[in-house]
Amino acid sequence: MKKIKMFLDKYFLTKLEKISPYLYRRITYDGYKKFSEYVDLIKRKDRYFFHNVAIEISTYCNRKCDYCPNKDYETPKEFMSWEIFKKIISDLKDVKYSGVLYLSLYNEPLFDDRLVEFTKYVHKELPEVTQLLISNGDLLNVEKAKELVEAGVDKFLITVHDKNPERNLERLKPVKEFLKEKMRLQTSNDLFLENRGGSVEIDPKKKKIVYKKCQAIRSLVISKDGNIILCCQDYFKKYIMGNVMEKSILEIWNSYNDLRVKLLRDNIVELPICKKCLERE
């Protein structure tokens, strides 16, 4: 299954994104999620089971991007323990997880010296998972890219969000030539702006309606302390669903199923963060 996903991404989706980022997002997010709903309903009896996992292995980021809450707050250098990380991977293995996994939230993963070892561990325990590296690319070079590919990274999303990105795009050319279709460069012009649940002020005129209903809540988001938080838009981690060291991921995920159903099936919004968020129309 993983080989099929990578084949489609390489020969169809990557080319589609260059032509129409909006259509690409429609197909990869909306189309895939609708298909997966029926599969998960049969396979797991959970229509909205997660297909994306974000693990915050550290908290530091060197950038202060306009669209990110980090621009207004200091980002401390704190790290997830190996004990918590292994428990997360063990729980994902128990549910036979085979979706996308990335080791970042609001952090820059390349500032964590353990990134390669974490990646190797995921590849060993969850070989069917698609490992995605989301990075600003400041510390990425050909040598590091090769090391990460050998460790198990399948895809690279490099966010070149400078006001004048040409310099960084030029610097990343050798990396792009080495990685070829494995690497996707995203400039700020390609970005679908979000207000991070009300944490960031953005110009309403720049907002594009992508979803009729919330999709962020369909991802599993785990903080460096092992807390499963509501979604990636919860920058301040106010909505903690549970901790992986106290319960299994599946137990915690099932505990807020009613909230997901209300948002995704019925478009009913109850939480204050959801009422402010631009993830949904």
pLDDT at 198: 41
pLDDT at 199: 45
Residue with tokens 């895939």: 32
Domains of the chain: residue spans and CATH: 47-156+193-276 (3.20.20.70)
Ordered strands of the 100-102 beta sheet: 183-187, 155-160, 130-135, 100-102, 52-55, 220-222, 227-229, 240-243
User: Which of 130, 65, 125 has the alpha carbon at shortest distance from 93?
Assistant: 125
- Residues with Cβ within 8 Å of 44's Cβ and at least 6 positions away in sequence, in order, are none
The reply to whether the predicted model has a pTM over 0.85 is no
User: Which of 60, 61, 16 has the alpha carbon at shortest distance from 159?
Assistant: 61
pLDDT at 28: 62
pLDDT at 165: 74
pLDDT tens over the chain, length 281 residues: 666 666 656 555 666 666 666 666 666 656 666 677 778 888 888 989 999 999 999 999 998 877 788 878 887 899 999 999 999 999 999 999 999 999 999 999 999 999 999 999 999 999 999 999 999 999 999 999 999 999 999 999 998 877 777 888 888 999 999 998 888 876 545 444 454 444 445 555 555 545 567 778 899 999 999 999 999 999 999 999 999 999 999 999 999 999 999 888 888 888 888 887 765 55
Distance between CA atoms of 134 and 267, rounded to whole angstroms? 29
